[in-house]
Chain A
Amino acid sequence: MFLIPDSVGRFFHRMASPPHFYAFTEKLLPWLTGIFLILLACGLYGGLYLAPPDYQQGDSYRIIYIHVPSAWMSLFIYMMMAVAGAIGLIWRIKLAEIVAISSASVGASFTFIALVTGSLWGKPMWGTWWVWDARLTSELILLFLYLGVIGLYNAIDDKRTASKAVAILALVGVVNIPIIHYSVEWWNTLHQGPTVTKMDKPSIHISMLVPLLLMALAFKFYYVIAMLQRAKLELLQRERTANWVKKMLSEQEQ
């Protein structure tokens, strides 16, 4: 414990308390939304207007600015969900359970967007909406994992038990993550290989790369915003009989 500064420890201790968490998100959300909107505006302007058309794919490649960040988010959020789930499972921290389940719907949405936009990009470029190759299939399995998590959570009435079950399902599903990531290298596929994460020399021009990274960052902020909105609802539903909720309600009425 001596490795963690006192103030940081205190911060996390406070955040684990529902009323503090609720009040803190209220203060944080306008800032997050502001930064998100600025990043989104810059990313869209750069991607849809400033960046030149691709020499092979013309303007259809512009789908990349939502497809790739969404696909990245689908993996990132899954890891966040699994880690939060594990923390909830081990230390029984209620807030970690709430973060885990609140991430699931956002993650499912990004997975859905990645699949649909990929399909809409594949049709003009590959000539088909869908192929059962490794990348697309593993991403579809990811969507089912998210939906499984949400379904399982809703099927169990006691939310503490539900959170336990969901965390275990999420942790088992983590095996799918490296499969999705490396699928374009392990198997032959129509899906193009990585363009950005080739560290030595990304095969994408800077005028196309900057808007892509801006959109990726904007989506990170979006995730936090959407997750917190969902978490506030979840928290209120769980804590409906708690004193701080009653106090908040009576304060609102005056």
Chain B
Amino acid sequence: MSLQEFFNMGGYAFYVWTSYGICFVVLLANIVLPILQRKQFLRQLALKQKRQNP
């Protein structure tokens, strides 16, 4: 099977790759967003702590 054939998916490329793309984006967001939010929250908390007891 050539690479082009693989990406063509027997003519169903749009349906197959859109499905996999949406799945990938949603699943990645579910990991990345909580990590970013946690880091930001910890930064804010650390700042607050410093202000309270310098």
In the complex the two chains form, what is the Cα distance from A229 to B35 in whole Å? 7
In the complex the two chains form, what is the Cα distance from A111 to B35 in whole Å? 22
Total A-B pairs in contact (CB under 8 Å)?
87
Contact between B20 and A66 (Cβ–Cβ < 8 Å)?
yes
Q: Which of B11, B12, B19, B46 contacts A252 (CB 8 A)?
A: B46
Q: What range describes how many residues of A lie at the interface?
A: 35 or more
Residues of B within 8 A of A (CB-CB), count: 27
For A60, the closest partner residue in chain B by CB is B12
Q: Which of A49, A120, A233 contacts B19 (CB 8 A)?
A: A120
Assess A249 versus B19: contact at CB under 8 Å? Given A109-B30, A233-B41: no
CB distance from B20 to the nearest CB of A (A): 6
Which residues of A lie under 8 Å from residue B34 when comparing CB positions?
Answer: 226, 229-230, 232-233
Contact between B49 and A105 (Cβ–Cβ < 8 Å)?
no
For B52, the closest partner residue in chain A by CB is A246
In the complex the two chains form, what is the Cα distance from A30 to B38 in whole Å? 17
In the complex the two chains form, what is the Cα distance from A246 to B1 in whole Å? 58
Contact between B19 and A106 (Cβ–Cβ < 8 Å)?
no
Which residues of A lie under 8 Å from residue B18 when comparing CB positions?
Answer: 120
Contact between B26 and A222 (Cβ–Cβ < 8 Å)?
no
Contact between A240 and B46 (Cβ–Cβ < 8 Å)?
no
Assess A59 versus B12: contact at CB under 8 Å? Given A109-B27, A229-B35, A233-B37: yes
Which residues of A lie under 8 Å from residue B9 when comparing CB positions?
Answer: 59-60, 62
Mark each residue of chain A from 37 to 62: 1 if its CB lies under 8 Å from any CB of chain B, else 0: 00000000000110001000011101
Contact between A113 and B23 (Cβ–Cβ < 8 Å)?
yes
Residues of B within 8 A of A (CB): 1, 6, 9-12, 15-16, 18-20, 22-23, 26-27, 29-31, 34-35, 37-38, 41-42, 45-46, 49
By Cβ-Cβ distance, the 5 closest A-B pairs, closest first, are A59-B10, A60-B12, A229-B34, A59-B9, A117-B19
